Structure 1
């Protein structure tokens, strides 16, 4: 009989186990991982550097980075947030650094530093790590009026007083939880890039610039979608935009994909976006600028980039506006300049599908938040059952926020478990 079984050898699972063992020495704890290695997502995060958290230290502002979970996480972030995460790692000799965009990484620039820290702590605290332990079922049993857990692993069973589920976006585990009576919000992808085939961007992969992007609402969903109509009005994002071989990526697109995860899934990922490549301008203001340039500039429009955008992007948008590469500013017509201003501030692009953002696959969906007590991360329906990490219906934009959800959930679940173990005699 274990005091605590943690199913899932990822960020949230390790964080919870370590904090339980620290607060309550001699607690019998095991982490069960279905794969042969633990902490795989930590390893590949941030291109192998591990984007540990984000330098947003105000709980209210921090919670605004969660399309699902903003309201529910506000309280937990007042208990445990980014500053606490920094303290945890620094106390264990892992220094973190803040990059220009607020993302935080280990100074070593290696996710292995974080993995080594967790493995070392688990070893020091006597936490058992059991790999290749695929869970085949979960059952709550009653022994003399005390609720305990029976976990099927292969052909055998393991028993525990407290069970923490930290398995991330695992459909099989969601099925088991649903069978226990919980509601699972159906998962859809979040954090994805847009597939776009368009002459304006097809030959310039690697070009990056600051832009505004918004989704244009559809009147109809089309025959393929069986989903109900979803409102995308107000679905807007601003930030760095990266042109790729398959379309568009970068923080501006990823934020849009996160906030619009369910709406865009309802569109079957077939929709249009409007891009303003020069957010400091609107169409009429930009036309006024062009008309002033026309009065003084003698070179060709193509060769005179009057805005702070990449040269190759400017050239493609000039061409898209119907301005030949030999046309000079004195020769260019007002309708052509109007068209150029429109291409720059309100260009329409058709999105046909999505692609996963590197290896950082995130889903919107999971255990219904209404069924979780966020003071302890314990199930409101089943005593002695706790959740942490992406298994619940919480997801974030890119930038270290998904890991912070794991750290906060793991820490608070650990406290909940410790308080319960201390209060009960078995």
Structure 2
């Protein structure tokens, strides 16, 4: 009997196991998970709702959401894309819904729905899932592979799918380096900006729907919603910017300057015109009581205070340096970031097995035939919005096809 081993019981590992077992019902399919938990990232993602995928359908558009691996993923998404993911789950009784920002969730708004679906399929197909089994090394043999298991007997198998997820240390990939694979050093992606010396953290909870955030001295910028937190800034604009700038910010040792345009993409001239027109129409009003940009009240007051504007100042007396200072804070508000967010389960790591070592049509290793990869163990990562799970489903599905055909 053919024996397939899947290492890792996350989204990619379990999805791969299901598809391997369904395409080869006579095979023995075994999932090895070093922890006691299954699908832990699925459980906590999307605030416990599980952001399964995204409404974006066209591969050429879809790949724009992947800072690393984008070009290599185009053909992969042509074989198994977001529509295929939706159909796969709906064919198993799980309907997904789209939200205004493009994210897709189960209609139950409960990640357990996705977990139950996946584990029920494993049970139906007699997939053997073993927890607390740590693979320490893999040896290539004439017939297949021999897996060295920590504190237990070695396991023989014909083919292996590695879906161990991302790691935050290069040493964690050593067992894959030993098999001849090149590794892109892991660095954090999708992290929040820590602003330890800024008083903006007093605005914790304030959200602005459309801003532009830049990293000073680079070409990195992103637009979208921003959330002020008690440690700094978060929200889609910040998280996506951190993903695209993951390596640059790592090189800067997470000491960098952030520029925020609270008016999205308005320039100095446009901001000045809006303020001048509002001033002419509301000469007797106090600045603190009137906001021409519809910014959150607490943020508007914060920017006025930061511009050294008195609470009693009226528009007809507003001019000169303070006028210019306010404009500067509206369109190029400067903050000093220091340090990085610690690695969290729901966040993503940039880095992993270099894609040049992998046949992206079958996900088989070019260095070690019979060994396949899926998910975040590869040097692939997406921005927030369901894109990382989609990469997991796609690469696992391709691997399941490749394992059967090769």
TM-score by length of 2: 0.96
Give the CA deviation at 1:139. Answer: 0.6
Q: Which residue of 2 aligns with 1:195?
A: 194
Q: Which residue of 2 aligns with 1:284?
A: 269
In structure 1, how many angstroms separate the alpha carbons of the residues matched to 2:265 and 2:161?
Answer: 49
In the alignment, is the contact (CA less than 8 A) between 1:14 and 1:31 conserved in 2? yes
For residues 105-144 of structure 1, the C-alpha deviation after alignment (integer angstroms, 9 at most, x for no partner) is 111111111111111101101111111111121110124x
Give the CA deviation at 1:41. Answer: 0.9
In structure 1, how many angstroms separate the alpha carbons of the residues matched to 2:277 and 2:371?
Answer: 68
Is 1:247 the equivalent of 2:232? yes
In the alignment, is the contact (CA less than 8 A) between 1:369 and 1:392 conserved in 2? yes
Query: Paired residue for 1:343, among 309, 329, 332?
Result: 329
Query: Paired residue for 2:391, among 378, 396, 405?
Result: 405
Please state whether the residue corresponding to 1:390 is helix, strand or coil: helix
Q: Which residue of 2 aligns with 1:67?
A: 67
Q: Which residue of 1 aligns with 2:22?
A: 22
In the alignment, is the contact (CA less than 8 A) between 2:192 and 2:238 conserved in 1? yes
In structure 1, how many angstroms separate the alpha carbons of the residues matched to 2:343 and 2:126?
Answer: 37
Give the CA deviation at 1:36. Answer: 1.2
Q: Which residue of 1 aligns with 2:147?
A: 151
Is 1:57 the equivalent of 2:73? no
In the alignment, is the contact (CA less than 8 A) between 2:198 and 2:335 conserved in 1? no
Q: Which residue of 2 aligns with 1:180?
A: 179
In the alignment, is the contact (CA less than 8 A) between 1:86 and 1:96 conserved in 2? yes
Q: Which residue of 2 aligns with 1:226?
A: none
Give the CA deviation at 1:411. Answer: 0.1
Please state whether the residue corresponding to 2:402 is helix, strand or coil: helix
Query: Paired residue for 1:395, among 377, 381, 394?
Result: 381
In the alignment, is the contact (CA less than 8 A) between 1:6 and 1:30 conserved in 2? yes
For residues 55-93 of structure 1, the C-alpha deviation after alignment (integer angstroms, 9 at most, x for no partner) is 111111111100000111001001101100000000000
In the alignment, is the contact (CA less than 8 A) between 1:2 and 1:30 conserved in 2? no
**CA 1:82–1:356: 2 relative to 1, 3 Å:** farther
In structure 2, how many angstroms separate the alpha carbons of the residues matched to 1:344 and 1:189?
Answer: 30
In structure 2, how many angstroms separate the alpha carbons of the residues matched to 1:277 and 1:70?
Answer: 30
For residues 27-55 of structure 1, the C-alpha deviation after alignment (integer angstroms, 9 at most, x for no partner) is 11100011112111111111111111111
Is 1:114 the equivalent of 2:75? no
Query: Paired residue for 2:251, among 259, 266, 284?
Result: 266
In structure 1, how many angstroms separate the alpha carbons of the residues matched to 2:230 and 2:192?
Answer: 11
Please state whether the residue corresponding to 2:201 is helix, strand or coil: coil
In structure 2, how many angstroms separate the alpha carbons of the residues matched to 1:338 and 1:44?
Answer: 45
Please state whether the residue corresponding to 1:201 is helix, strand or coil: helix
Query: Paired residue for 1:238, among 203, 223, 248?
Result: 223
Q: Which residue of 2 aligns with 1:222?
A: none
Please state whether the residue corresponding to 2:247 is helix, strand or coil: helix
Q: Which residue of 1 aligns with 2:213?
A: 213
Please state whether the residue corresponding to 2:200 is helix, strand or coil: coil
Is 1:334 the equivalent of 2:330? no
In structure 2, how many angstroms separate the alpha carbons of the residues matched to 1:379 and 1:335?
Answer: 62
Answer with 125-134 or 189-198: which moved more: 189-198
Answer with 133-142 or 239-248: which moved more: 133-142
Is 1:378 the equivalent of 2:364? yes
Identify unmatched segments of 5+ residues in structure 2: none
Give the CA deviation at 1:200. Answer: 5.0
Please state whether the residue corresponding to 2:388 is helix, strand or coil: helix
Please state whether the residue corresponding to 1:393 is helix, strand or coil: coil
Answer with 164-173 or 94-103: which moved more: 164-173
For residues 152-192 of structure 1, the C-alpha deviation after alignment (integer angstroms, 9 at most, x for no partner) is 11331111111100001245651101011111111011110
For residues 271-308 of structure 1, the C-alpha deviation after alignment (integer angstroms, 9 at most, x for no partner) is 00111001252112211222222223111111111112
Query: Paired residue for 2:306, among 314, 320, 331?
Result: 320
- When the two chains are superposed, the root-mean-square deviation of aligned CA atoms in Å is 1.4
Please state whether the residue corresponding to 1:130 is helix, strand or coil: strand
Is 1:275 the equivalent of 2:260? yes
Please state whether the residue corresponding to 2:376 is helix, strand or coil: coil
